[in-house]
Chains A and B, each alone.
Chain A
Amino acid sequence: MLFVLLAMVVLASLLSDRFLTTNNLLNVARQVAINAILAAGMTVVILSGGIDLSVGSVLALSGAVGAGIIAGGGSWLVAVLAMLGLGTLLGAVNGFFVAYGQLPPFIVTLAMMAFARGSTLVYTGGRPITVFHPSFQWFGHGQVGPIPAPVFLVIVLYVIAHVFLSHTKVGRLIYAVGGNEQASRMAGIRVNQIKVLVYALSGFTAALAGIVLTSRLFSAQPTAGSGYELDAIAAVILGGTSLAGGRGSVTGTIIGALIIGILGNVLNLLNVSSFYQDVAKGIVILAAVLLDRLLHAGGRGVAVKGVSQGE
């Protein structure tokens, strides 16, 4: 998939002389950040053989609650901690019903998606909550050296996620559960605890994305993040992670997120109508995955076992 990303960068630079400018590349990085943060948590869930449809709504609810705290005169630190805590809690609730309730992740997170969106509308009364706080603003508009803060957060998050997944015992257990849940249980792995953990992590990253988005827009929108779960899933799939679980990596996911981000950016630079942009996005996702499959055919083989088991 790295090959597809490189090809896109080359094409984008050939098609628009505005693409390879520092300013524009920083644009792309900032624009990709929210999806990349959501997709990091989504990767972990999908690796465990699940799916999380609630991330867009959890993002909106935590964003609204945090903005409400700051707008009500609370400290920004309390707001940030409350947002991360709430997101993690909602994720853990997802995980609890998936693990101990033995319910399909698709259904549980679909229910959470509706619940969190509804709660956001109740909490905000349908109106955006404006926040203008110099410290809180850092998450969307700050800098670490020359790097925009959202991009910095993505880098830190992905380094941690990579180390966690490939260099810790718990990380490897997540792969094991996603690869074969039955065998994992028989091997004595506490599958239920792993499941609660992965959904809690996804809730955490959704809240982090909510912090960045709220800060970036100076306001929490009741409709924020609608449909973002699908972009996050697309980034994970583009990154080569198997929907059936057990196979994939966050390094792939960040490449997937960049492919989606660069595509939108370059089509805007080329003045392509938004209707065609969605058409293009669909075709590129399909083509990229197909291409990846062709390039690797015969090599590692493609995991196609029991796709339905992941849902």
Chain B
Amino acid sequence: MTKRIRLLVVLSVLLLAFAAAVPVSAQTIGLAISTLNNPFFVDLKEGAEEKAAELGVTLRVVDAQDDPARQLAGIEDLIAAGVDVILINPTDSAAVVPGVLAANRAGIPVITVDRAADGGVIVSHIASDNVLGGRMAAQLIVELSGGRAKVVELEGIPGTTAARERGQGFNEVISQYPGIVVVARQEAGFDRARGLTVMENILQAQPEIDFVFAHNDEMALGALVAIEAAGRAGQIKVIGFDATADAVRAVQEGRMLATIAQQPRLMGALGVETAVKVLRGEPVDKFIPVPLSLVIGR
């Protein structure tokens, strides 16, 4: 029997070693994140943690490791832990619905971050402002060309929010400058190989091109290959979107002009800020757009 007691003590110490200090705070925000195996979401989490420390609220993070079932379990645990608001970064918009409904039933306000939920009551959705990103790309062209340029637009998969909103912002600005002419506008499916072949065709048809704006970096990198192969690398400047590692490298090497980057850190910070507003009973917007940033070479 004494052996059992000794073992119990050993086991207690073992478990206690893993138990982080649990600060008792009046207000706690739960963050159910999709994965921490991707730097984008690690940045998002760190942005949320910094803002929580600054505002003096406790943040509890549960990680779904990209598994919707694990995310649902995490949300249930947050509810059981008695958090006051839940920030959810869904692994999947459809599979997150039961989690949102569970929080709704428990009377806990839900805010979604980066990806939206297909159902349930959501107080606010925080995501990148793709329209603004499209405008930023257009404004860059306006600044560099002084309002006179021939432009190619490579569009993403029709019907996707990214393609629709990025195109909308871009064309809003371009249409105000009669000197900027869109000589070709083609769909290339967000795909690098399609970007290459579509750009090859456009290069055949258009003797004069100053700028290419692609709705994502994959298409931009494909277009870049076509442009370099055609020996027109000096004349045509390419702008992409997303700031993927390949694209950022191309920008640093001076092969690509620029790419538009999301700001996950800011996304996390805005999530916590909005959660605190909800706790204070202040009104919040249904959709909170997170501005993008421009990655540009020398």
Contacts and interface: CB of A to CB of B under 8 A. Distances in A.
Given A221-B68, A224-B69, A268 B11 contact: no
A268 B73 CA distance: 10
B118 A27 contact: no
A81 to B, nearest CB: 23
A46 B246 CA distance: 47
A273 interface: yes
Contact of B72 (A23, A128, A216): A216
Interface stretch (A182-190, A274-282, A301-309): A274-282
A7 B20 contact: no
Interface stretch (B56-64, B123-131, B170-178, B219-227): B56-64
A141 B105 CA distance: 13
B293 to A, nearest CB: 28
Given A11-B12, A213-B69, A283-B14, A274 B62 contact: yes
A268 B61 CA distance: 8
Contacts of A124: none
Interface stretch (A13-21, A100-108, A157-165): A13-21
Contacts, number: 120
Give the residue among A4, A7, A284 with the most B Cβ atoms within 10 A: A7
B82 A18 contact: yes
Contacts of B280: none
B81 A18 contact: yes
B53 interface: no
A199 interface: no
B98 A218 contact: yes
Interface residues of B, number: 39
Given A34-B69, A271-B22, A274-B63, A291 B92 contact: no
Interface in A246-275: 264-265, 267-275
The range of chain A's interface size is 35 or more
Nearest to B95: A217
A291 B3 CA distance: 11
B279 interface: no
B19 A15 contact: yes
Nearest to A30: B76
A218 B20 contact: no
A218 B95 contact: yes
Interface of B: 3-4, 7-8, 11-12, 14-16, 18-20, 22, 36, 60-63, 65-69, 72-74, 76-82, 92, 94-95, 97-98, 118
